[in-house]
A and B are shown apart, each in its own frame.
Chain A
Amino acid sequence: MKNLRAVLEESDPIRDEPALSTTDAREIRRAMLAAVETAPSLFFPRTLPVAALVVVMIVAGAAVGRRLSTTPALQTANGRGDAETGARGAGRDSTVERRQVQFATPGGTRIIWTIDPNFQIREVMP
């Protein structure tokens, strides 16, 4: 590969061309130092977006949590059935909310209680 080295050396641009001129060097140096002067502080560019993201996530989490907490979560009596509550009866009566409690027994029977909000226990006198 002697030939390659010889060809490279013969055609090396550094051989014939002058080095980086003083004017160019000074200009590059000035540009570099100006970049230091105008560079924003190291704190700002990295931490601000991260902080903003954290704030957004906290706000979003709080909003979701608040929304979930407004829906009452009912547990089944034995604690292992899946309880499901909701405003399923809302379509029937817009002013009165009918609630359902669903759960499954260990034997597999699915039980649905529909709670009538208008139901009142009255004492019936004989």
Chain B
Amino acid sequence: MTGQAIAMAGAAERPRDDVTGRLGSLFDTHHQRLYRLARRLSRSTEDARDLVQETFLRAARSPDSIPEGASQEEAWLVRVLINICRDRWRKTAVRTRAHAYEVPPEVSGDNPESAVMARTMIWRALDRLPPRRRAVIVMYELEGAAIPAIARALGVTPVTVRWHLSRGRRELAKVLGEP
């Protein structure tokens, strides 16, 4: 009887152990890639770290909603991360964002100062973009992801991705002083 009782107790404990194990491997597999994305979507390393933590905490709170398979898991995590960005972005006052950059000066030429200014301006301009648009720009331009892959990761259609890409490029080109 004792053996049976122990076996039953073990069976009852297993689901939580499974969840812990699964989340552990989820974290080990995806945390660095997620951090890179978070860093490119946020202003500081601290913000990026918070984003990653919040993403995995959400995963811990609803482990049943995480799909099976590495690419699906990654897409799910990316979506959660971008949703957190969107929540934060909405909470940030419009005024604050408007002050992030006002009238951009013309950026041009081979001047190193101009290059530094361009970098600063471009990341400030990225800060002003809605998180999903920023994610599309980052994933396409920096990570080199294809449009269908971005669409899958963000849970939108390729047409939406192209639209965000086009709008985002136009907004950033304006900042860079391109025609």
Contact = CB atoms under 8 A, between A and B. Distances in A.
B176 A20 contact: no
Contact of A28 (B36, B52, B119): B52
A105 B68 CA distance: 71
Interface string A1-28: 1011101111111100101100011001
A28 B31 contact: yes
Nearest to B122: A7
B51 to A, nearest CB: 10
Interface of A: 1, 3-5, 7-14, 17, 19-20, 24-25, 28-29, 31-33, 35-37, 39, 42
Nearest to B48: A20
A32 B123 contact: no
A20 B23 contact: no
Nearest to A19: B32
A14 B40 CA distance: 7
Contacts of A13: 39-40, 45
B24 A33 contact: yes
A28 B138 CA distance: 24
Contacts of B119: 7, 10-11
Contact of A1 (B57, B59, B64, B169): B169
16 contacts: A4-B122, A4-B178, A7-B176, A8-B141, A8-B142, A9-B142, A11-B118, A12-B40, A12-B142, A17-B45, A25-B27, A29-B28, A29-B56, A32-B56, A33-B60, A36-B23
A20 B28 CA distance: 12
Given A10-B115, A31-B53, A32-B57, A3 B36 contact: no
A5 B31 contact: no
Interface in B118-134: 118-120, 122-123
Nearest to A29: B27
A29 B67 CA distance: 19
Nearest to A28: B53
B173 interface: yes
Contacts of A36: 16, 19-20, 23, 60, 63
A31 B59 CA distance: 12
B101 interface: no
A11 B123 contact: yes
Contact of A20 (B52, B59, B137): B52
A20 B52 CA distance: 10
Given A9-B142, A31-B53, A33-B23, A20 B32 contact: yes
B129 to A, nearest CB: 12
Contacts of B137: 8
B57 A31 contact: yes
The 10 A-B residue pairs with the shortest CB-CB distance, nearest first, are A11-B119, A35-B60, A20-B35, A32-B56, A28-B53, A32-B60, A36-B60, A5-B141, A7-B122, A29-B27
